[in-house]
Amino acid sequence: MKALYLKELRAFLSSLIGYIVIGIFLVVNALFLFVFTNSLNILDAQYSTLDNFFYITPWLFLFLIPAITMRSFSEEQREGTLELLLTKPISEMEIILAKFFASLTLVIMALLPTLIYFVTVFQLGDPVGNIDTGATWGSYLGLLFVASIFVSLGILTSSLTNNQIVSFLLSALGSYILYNGFQSLGTFDLLGSMDQFFISMGIEEHYRGLSIGLIDSRDVLYFVGVSTLFILLTRLRLQARNW
C-alpha cells in the first residue's frame, strides 16, 4: 500500500499539469482575497479574519480535487494496467485507500502555502495577533473534511470510466450537488418538514460550523460516514469487474 501511495504522489508531481492545477488554485485564491475589489477581499474588509478564505476555498475545491482524482482509476483502465494491479498481493481496499490518501496529501500540499494568509492577517491585526487562532485551525480541519468527501467521490467517478474528462465532469457535478445542491433544494421551502432533511444531507450545512471553529461530533460523523460510503462504493465497483 505504501509503495502504491508513493507511486501515485510521484505520478502527479512528475507531470506539469499537477503544478499547474495547484498553481491556479493558489493564484485564484490570492486574487480574490487580496487583489480583486470584491466582498471577499480581506484588505478591503479591514477586519483580521480568514472567514472569506474558508468560504471561497470549498468552491475552488470543486475544480481542484476533480483535477487531482480524475486519473486515479481512469488512466489505469485506459492503459489496461488496472487488471495487472488487481493481481498484485494487495487488496482492492488497500488500492483504493492508497489512491485516496495520495490525493488527500496533494490537497494538503495545495493548502500549505495558504498558511501565509494566516501569517499576513496575524501581522495586519490591530494589535498584532488579533485573530481567532483556534477558530482558524478548526476551519482548516473543516476544509480537510470537505476535501475527504470530494476526494472519495472523485475516486469513485474515476472508477466508473476510462475517460479522465468524463471523470472530472462527473466528480465536479457530484461535488457541487453534495456541497450546495441539497442546501439550495431545502431553501425553496417546497417540501415542508422535509426541507431541513435535505439541507442536513448537504456538505455546506455541516461545514458551516467547522468553518467558524465549532467542532461538533455529528458533523465529524457526517464527513467520515459519507467519505466511507464512497470508498465502499468504489470497492464494489472494482469487485464488479470480476463478475
Q: b/e string for 192-205 if b means 16 or more Cβ within 10 A? A: eeeeeebbebbbbb
Does residue 138 contact residue 145 with C-beta atoms inside 8 Å?
Answer: no
Whole-angstrom distance, CA of residue 210 vs CA of residue 105: 20
Does residue 119 contact residue 133 with C-beta atoms inside 8 Å?
Answer: no
**% pLDDT > 90, the chain:** 45
Whole-angstrom distance, CA of residue 135 vs CA of residue 175: 25
- Which of 184, 148, 145, 176 has the alpha carbon at shortest distance from 63? 176
pTM of the complete model: 0.91
pLDDT in tens, 186-207: 666 666 666 677 777 888 888 8
How many CB atoms sit inside 10 A of residue 94's CB? 15
Please tell me the predicted confidence (pLDDT) of residue 191: 60
Whole-angstrom distance, CA of residue 76 vs CA of residue 162: 8
Task: Give the model's confidence band at 235: pLDDT under 50 very low, under 70 low, under 90 confident, else very high.
Answer: very high
Given its phi and psi angles, is residue 128 left (phi above 0), alpha (psi -120 to 50 degrees) or beta? beta
Does residue 205 contact residue 192 with C-beta atoms inside 8 Å?
Answer: no
Q: b/e string for 140-166 if b means 16 or more Cβ within 10 A? A: bbbbebbbbbbbbbbbbbbbbbbebee
Return all residues near 217 (Cβ < 8 A) that are at least 6 apart: none
Please tell me the predicted confidence (pLDDT) of residue 195: 66
pLDDT in tens, 90-145: 888 999 999 999 999 999 999 999 999 888 888 877 677 777 788 888 889 999 99
Grid cell, residue 234, equals: 468504489
**% pLDDT > 70, the chain:** 91
Residue 44 has pLDDT above 80, yes or no: no
Integer Rg of the chain from CA: 19
